[in-house]
C-alpha cells in the first residue's frame, strides 16, 4: 500500500476510504490505525458509529489484532457513538460540537497521533437540511487538519458518486476507492487511489487480498523492468536436456516455458527440475491448477521421482487451487504472498492455461506478466507449463505468453507404425547457444530419458533415429 501511495497516507491530514458493503473499508482503516500503534508507536483513537467496541474487537481479532491488549496498555481508545435517528429530537441547528468534545478528550488522554472514524454517514443519518450537513462535513475535516491528526474516515459508496453525500471526496486530501465486484460468479477486490494532494501516486486499479493475515495489496514494483540478469546456470534435472542448453541448463532467475499437448510429459520434466533444485538444497514453490499435491506426488513416483521427501524436509511447498475458485487478481495476490512468505529459489506454475477459465487471454497474459516481473525482480527461476490443444500449432500458446519467456521447450507426440513417440526440442533460449535438433525421449520408471540421435521424417511420417 505504501508503494501504491508513494510513501503512505498524508501525515496530519484526512484520508477518505470509500466503497460498497463488504469492500474492506473498515479493515483498511483499522490496519492503518493499529499498525501505527504496534509498528510505529503512535497512539490512536477509533471512533465507531455502527459497531460497538466489543463487536469491532471480535472482528479484528480474527485477523490477528488484539484490540483489548492495546486498550489495556493505554495505546488505543475505542469510542462507540450511538446515533439513532428515532431517538433524536431536533431543536435548533444540528452541529458536531459534542463530537469534537469527545474526540478532544480521547486524543488528549493518550496523546493520539492517528484517528479513525467509521463511518461518517452515520453521523448525518436522517438529516433533512443538506446545507447544514455540508457545512458540518467541512467543519469536521477542517477540525481534524487543525489538530494535525492523521485521520482515516470511511464512507459508503453513493449512487453515481464516490460517497452518498458527494462532498467528502472534495474536502479530503486523499481518497481511496475500494471495489468488490463479481463477474461470471467470480469475485475480485481492487483498490484505486482516486486523489492524493501533493503526491505522485499509482493511478491504476490494484488487486488486493483479505485473508486471515489482514489486507495485502499487490506490490507495484512488480510492474517494472529493473530486474537483474544473472549468469549462473541451474540444471534442468535431465542431463541430456542440459546438453541441449549448452550443457549447463537454464539461467538462474530466468523464465522457462514447457508447452505441448496432453500426455507429452510437461509435468514430468517440471518435476525433474524441482527434484534437482531440492537436491541442491534450494526451496521450491509449486503452484498447481489441475491436480492435487497428493496426486502429483503419486504420479511422479511412477517415473522414479520422490517429491514427498522434499516436502517432509521443508524444501518443497505445494499451493493447489482450482482457477474458478477466485478471480485472476486474487490468484495473483495469493501467489505474491506465497512467494514472499516461503522465499523460494524456484517456482513452478502448472498449467497456466487453466487460468483461461476465469479470464480472457489478455487478462491472463497481464496477470502472468506481473508474476514473471516479480519473480525476476527477486531472482527466482520460474517454470511454467502450457497445454497446447491437439489441433493447434505447437509453436503457439493459448495464454499468449511465449514472448515473455527466456527459454521455450516444446514437447510433442507423433505416431509411426501404430506407435506414439515423444519428441522434444528447444524452440528458443535467449542469450545462450542451444541445440536446434529434435530429440526423441521416453518416460521410464527411472525418469525422462532422451534418446541418442534425431527423429527423421520419411514419407511424411515420423521415424526415431537411434
Cell of 145: 487538519
Q: Which residue has the cell 471512533?
A: 47
d(CA 31, CA 65): 9
* Superfamily covering domain 233-463: P-loop containing nucleotide triphosphate hydrolases (3.40.50.300)
Task: Answer yes or no: are the C-beta atoms of 197 and 141 closer than 8 Å.
Answer: no
Instruction: State how far the Cα of 447 lies from the Cα of 438, in Å rounded to an integer.
Output: 19
Q: Do 14-217 and 233-463 have matching folds?
A: yes
Q: Which of 270, 280, 266, 293 is nearest to 345 (CA)?
A: 280
Tell me the pLDDT of the chain (466 aa) as tens digits.
Answer: 888 888 889 999 999 999 888 888 999 999 999 999 999 999 999 999 888 888 888 888 887 889 999 999 999 999 998 766 555 555 556 667 888 899 999 999 999 999 999 887 777 665 566 677 778 778 888 898 999 999 999 988 877 667 766 666 777 889 999 988 777 666 778 889 999 988 888 778 887 878 777 787 765 545 566 778 899 999 999 999 999 999 889 999 999 999 999 999 999 999 999 999 999 999 999 999 999 999 999 999 999 999 999 999 999 999 999 888 887 878 888 888 899 999 999 999 999 988 888 877 887 888 888 889 889 989 999 999 999 876 555 555 555 677 889 999 999 988 877 788 899 999 999 988 899 999 999 999 999 999 986 655 444 444 443 3
Burial 20-56 (b: 16+ CB within 10 A, else e): eeebbbbbbbbbbbbebbeeeebbbbbbbbbeebeeb
383 touches 251 (CB < 8 A): no
Q: Which letter does DSSP use for residue 158 in this model? A: P
The CATH architecture annotation of domain 14-217 reads 3-Layer(aba) Sandwich (3.40)
Q: Give the helix/strand (H/E) hosting 40.
A: helix 25-40
In the chain, where the domains are located: 14-217, 233-463
428-435: Cβ within 8 A, 24+ apart: 428/402, 429/245, 430/254, 430/406, 431/251, 431/406, 432/245, 432/246, 432/251, 433/246, 434/244, 434/245, 434/246, 435/243, 435/244, 435/245
Distance CA 347, CA 403 (A): 19
Task: Give 360-408 pLDDT, tens digit per residue.
Answer: 788 788 888 888 988 998 999 999 999 987 655 555 555 567 788 999 9
Residue 7 in contact with residue 199, Cβ under 8 Å?
yes
Residue where the block lists cell 518416460: 443
Amino acid at each position: 500500500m505504501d508503494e501504491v501511495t508513494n510513501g503512505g497516507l498524508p501525515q496530519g491530514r484526512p484520508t477518505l476510504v470509500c466503497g460498497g458493503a463488504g469492500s474492506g473499508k473498515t479493515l483498511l482503516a483499522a490496519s492503518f490505525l493499529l499498525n501505527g500503534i504496534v509498528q510505529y508507536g503512535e497512539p490512536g483513537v477509533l471512533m465507531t458509529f455502527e459497531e460497538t467496541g466489543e463487536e469491532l474487537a471480535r472482528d479484528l481479532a480474527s485477523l490477528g489484532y488484539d484490540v483489548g491488549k492495546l486498550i489495556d496498555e493505554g495505546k488505543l481508545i475505542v469510542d462507540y457513538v450511538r446515533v439513532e435517528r428515532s431517538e433524536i429530537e431536533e431543536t435548533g441547528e444540528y452541529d458536531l460540537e459534542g463530537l469534537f468534545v469527545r474526540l478532544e478528550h480521547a486524543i488528549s488522554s493518550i496523546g493520539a497521533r492517528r484517528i479513525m472514524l467509521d463511518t461518517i454517514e452515520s453521523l448525518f443519518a436522517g438529516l433533512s437540511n443538506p446545507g447544514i450537513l455540508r457545512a458540518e462535513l467541512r467543519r469536521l475535516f477542517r477540525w481534524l487538519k487543525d489538530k494535525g491528526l492523521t485521520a482515516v474516515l470511511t464512507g459508503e459508496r453513493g449512487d453515481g458518486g464516490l460517497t452518498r453525500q458527494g462532498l467528502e471526496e472534495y474536502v479530503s486530501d486523499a481518497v481511496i476507492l475500494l471495489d468488490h465486484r463479481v463477474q461470471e460468479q467470480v469475485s475480485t477486490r481492487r483498490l484505486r487511489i482516486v486523489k492524493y494532494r501533493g503526491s505522485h501516486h499509482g493511478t491504476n486499479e490494484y488487486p488486493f487480498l483479505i485473508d486471515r493475515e489482514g489486507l495485502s495489496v499487490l506490490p507495484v514494483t512488480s510492474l517494472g523492468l529493473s530486474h537483474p540478469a544473472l549468469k549462473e546456470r541451474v540444471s534442468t534435472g535431465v542431463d541430456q536436456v542440459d546438453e541441449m542448453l549448452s550443457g549447463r541448463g537454464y539461467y538462474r532467475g530466468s523464465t522457462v516455458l514447457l508447452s505441448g499437448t496432453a500426455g507429452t510429459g510437461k509435468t514430468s520434466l517440471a518435476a525433474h527440475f524441482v527434484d534437482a533444485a531440492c537436491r541442491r538444497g534450494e526451496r521450491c514453490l509449486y503452484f498447481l491448477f489441475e491436480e492435487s499435491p497428493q496426486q502429483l506426488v503419486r504420479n511422479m513416483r511412477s517415473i522414479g521421482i520422490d517429491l514427498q521427501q522434499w516436502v517432509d524436509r521443508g524444501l518443497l511447498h505445494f499451493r493447489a487451487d482450482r482457477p474458478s475458485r477466485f478471480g485472476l487478481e486474487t490468484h495473483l495476490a495469493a501467489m505474491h504472498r506465497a512467494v514472499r512468505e516461503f522465499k523460494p529459489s524456484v517456482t513452478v506454475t502448472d498449467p497456466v492455461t487453466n487460468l483461461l477459465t476465469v479470464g480472457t487471454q489478455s487478462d491472463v497474459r497481464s496477470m502472468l506478466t506481473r508474476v514473471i516481473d516479480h519473480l525476476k525482480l527477486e531472482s527466482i527461476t520460474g517454470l511454467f507449463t502450457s497445454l497446447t490443444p491437439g489441433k493447434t500449432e505447437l509453436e503457439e500458446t493459448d495464454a499468449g505468453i511465449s514472448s515473455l519467456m527466456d527459454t521455450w521447450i516444446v514437447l510433442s507426440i507423433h505416431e509411426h507404425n501404430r506407435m506414439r513417440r515423444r519428441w522434444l526440442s528447444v524452440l528458443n533460449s535467449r542469450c545462450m547457444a542451444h541445440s536446434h535438433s529434435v530429440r526423441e525421449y521416453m518416460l521410464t520408471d527411472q525418469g525422462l530419458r532422451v534418446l541418442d540421435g534425431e527423429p527423421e521424417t520419411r514419407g511424411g511420417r515420423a521415424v526415431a533415429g537411434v
